[in-house]
Structure 1
Amino acid sequence: MVVISIIGCSKSGAYGSEEAIKRGDVVYQNEVVNLERFEQFLINLSNKKEDTIRVTGYTHEGDPIFQDLQFDGEVIHYTYDNSNDEYAGKNKGKETDVCKEVIEKKIHKAKSNI
């Protein structure tokens, strides 16, 4: 199992998971949808080809958290946007950063017989 944890650039406006899937966002809730789009982004990254992608997750209450990645051929411009999260508190808003690479992190879950 691969867990995607990314922070990225945000397009304004909240929308639900069905709309996010239609827009081509990589959506994660109980499962990851449009994962092939993320895989294509990684291929473009390794080929130094410009690309933009949005990863959208949802809180338990259903509020969207947007993570946008914009690769300009050299670096990744990243924005994390939780401004639509009703319970974000004082950490609510957008944060930006610049990254040089994406690191893959694999997490293996132990099987349960319960």
Structure 2
Amino acid sequence: MRKLGLIVCLLCLAGCGKYTMEEAKENGDIIVQNDVTNSDRFESFLKKSTQGKSDQIRITAFTTEGDPVLYDVKYDGKSYQYTSDSSRDQFGTTDDDRKNEVCKRLVKTTEKEQSVYTLRQCAKGADHELLRLPKQ
């Protein structure tokens, strides 16, 4: 009986490990897969951060295989806290995640027909591109 309970528990845990596109949509994530879905949420985040108001977003990029890579950005009124999580990507690694990376600026640049949003002046030295949106 204990073995049956353990098997059921393990099956439940295995099923909970996949973060689906449907879950990401329901959670209000900004989704990147071919196109960007929910970009209006990013625009809202930009507006609030420009006004010095705290806010946070999650950008979920889905790999070719359908695995999610999560990027969380929190703005506290002064700086941006950036976290990447590729642990759900079968080809990802937790070694390259930058937990609690702090960046001072969110910069918009233009490349061809796209607006590129990048976190800059980060404590660990690397910039972090967040999104590419069609230029409006």
TM range (shorter): 0.7 to 0.9
In structure 2, the residue matched to 1:61 is 65
In structure 2, the residue matched to 1:39 is 43
In structure 2, the residue matched to 1:105 is 109
Q: Which runs of 5+ in 2 are unaligned?
A: 1-16, 114-136
Preserved contact between residue 83 and residue 94 of structure 1 (Cα < 8 Å):
no
Distance 1:60 1:97, change over 3 A: same
For the residues of structure 2 that align with 1:40 and 1:90, how far apart are their CA atoms? 30
Q: Which has the higher contact order (CA 8 A, sep 6+)?
A: 1
TM-score after normalising by structure 1: 0.75
Distance 1:23 1:89, change over 3 A: closer
Amino acid at match of 2:37: V
Richer in helix (by share): 2
Tell me which structure has the larger Cα radius of gyration.
2
Q: Which runs of 5+ in 1 are unaligned?
A: 1-12, 110-114
TM-score after normalising by structure 2: 0.64
Provide the aligned length of Structure 1 versus Structure 2. Answer: 97
Distance 1:43 1:89, change over 3 A: closer
